């Protein structure tokens, strides 16, 4: 990668925006960034919230160095007007990623601030790519909701191409849930930390053939376990016996519940963050069985809806499975990629 990508040796801070002070980021800025994310989210992703503990976990990541990987613009009142980051995930087995994430407060858009921010992010992303000695494809990647046309146009103007669509699906839990099909070859148990490494192994196997997916590290897995929204009691694992009497996780459904987001969807809901089955256990209806159990558990917990996201072109046919269980499409998002 370092032989294919030319990156600047240093990057100047952006200067766009009247009255703004641009500077590197520190953990002390988390509150400012959260306020900005909530203000922008009302326009950019009005049905979901960025949470403080998500930001704190991100800032504690071993691969994120905010003073080098992020910038912030603050106005004279001390309000964050823009924030952007460019980081490279720890796992790079099939792709060297540069993940770009940024936003501008809605009342300061159309001033060239977003353009300047993206230029900084691209330069930092190129530094990440050029630091790799892997012989792999290199991507700079960003995402946007389908309705965020200005953000999509900006990325496309910088050479990013629409690469993958993601669908948000929702199901009314008042509708009957079919009796879960039997799964005699496995036992179903709630997620517990004693299963952590075996569940991570199952996740990495199940998603190895999915677009852009890279293995989840132990540190990232532990970070997800710590999030306040994670509900291990509503999450489900399929456990099978392995040679020698050992047990392994062959399937999983993970669930988050975030009450702060309920007003955005007019009622209590659970978000199904991941569904997967090891490749050797596919074709037995295991995902359907686990989902039926989880949907019933969500309803019993007093939730009105279940929400999930799916790759529109998932190689496992997940979209068809979810639709057969009563989920309907409510929103779309797109990943945009610049390849090297």
CB 281 within 8 A of CB 248: no
Residues in CB range of 18: below 8 A, 6 or more apart = 111
What does the mean pLDDT of the chain come to? 96
CB 192 within 8 A of CB 232: yes
Residue 184 has pLDDT above 90, yes or no: no
pLDDT average, residue stretch 201-220: 96
Q: Where are the alpha helices (DSSP H) in the chain?
A: 30-44, 52-59, 66-69, 113-130, 149-157, 196-206, 218-226, 286-300, 318-324
Specify the fold of 168-333: Aminopeptidase (3.40.630)
Element (DSSP H or E) covering residue 196:
helix 196-206
So what's the pLDDT on residue 178? Answer: 87
**Are 21-159 and 168-333 equal in CATH topology?**
yes
pLDDT tens, residue by residue, 101-137: 999 999 999 999 999 999 999 999 999 999 999 999 9
pLDDT tens, residue by residue, 47-61: 999 999 999 999 999
Tell me the CATH number for domain 21-159: 3.40.630.30
So what's the pLDDT on residue 187? Answer: 95
Residue 90 has pLDDT above 90, yes or no: no
Residue 322 has pLDDT above 90, yes or no: yes
Percentage of the residues of the chain whose pLDDT score is greater than 70 = 100
So what's the pLDDT on residue 316? Answer: 87
Give burial (CB, 10 Å; 0-12/13-18/19+) of 28. Answer: exposed
Domain ranges of the chain: 21-159, 168-333
């Amino acid at each position: 990668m370092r032989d294919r990508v030319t990156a600047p040796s240093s990057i100047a801070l952006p200067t766009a925006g009247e009255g703004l002070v641009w500077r590197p980021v520190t953990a002390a800025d988390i509150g400012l960034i959260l306020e900005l994310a909530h203000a922008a989210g009302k326009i950019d992703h009005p049905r979901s919230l960025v949470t403080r503990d998500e930001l704190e976990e991100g800032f504690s990541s071993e691969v994120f160095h905010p003073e080098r990987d992020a910038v912030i613009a603050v106005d004279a009142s001390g309000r964050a007007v823009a924030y952007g980051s460019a980081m490279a995930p720890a796992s790079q087995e099939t792709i060297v990623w540069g993940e770009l994430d940024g936003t501008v407060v809605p009342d300061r858009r159309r001033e060239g601030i977003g353009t300047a921010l993206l230029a900084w992010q691209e330069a930092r992303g190129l530094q990440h790519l050029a630091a790799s000695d892997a012989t792999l494809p290199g991507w700079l990647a960003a995402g946007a909701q389908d309705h965020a046309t200005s953000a999509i146009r900006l990325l496309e103007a910088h050479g990013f191409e629409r690469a993958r669509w993601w669908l948000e699906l929702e199901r009314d839990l008042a509708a009957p849930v079919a009796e879960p099909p039997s799964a005699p070859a496995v036992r179903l148990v709630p997620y517990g930390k004693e299963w952590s490494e075996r569940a991570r192994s199952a996740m990495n196997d199940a998603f190895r053939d999915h677009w852009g997916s890279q293995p989840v590290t132990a540190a990232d897995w532990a970070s997800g376990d710590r999030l306040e929204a994670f509900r291990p009691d509503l999450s489900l694992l399929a456990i099978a016996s392995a040679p020698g009497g050992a047990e392994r996780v062959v399937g999983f459904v993970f669930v988050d519940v975030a009450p702060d987001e309920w007003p955005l969807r007019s009622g209590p809901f659970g978000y199904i963050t991941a569904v997967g089955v090891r490749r050797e256990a596919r074709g037995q209806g295991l995902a359907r069985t686990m989902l039926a159990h989880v949907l019933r558990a969500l309803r019993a917990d007093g939730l009105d809806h279940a929400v999930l996201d799916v790759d529109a072109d998932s190689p496992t046919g997940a979209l068809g499975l979810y639709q057969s269980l009563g989920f309907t499409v409510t929103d779309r998002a797109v990943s945009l990629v610049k390849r090297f």
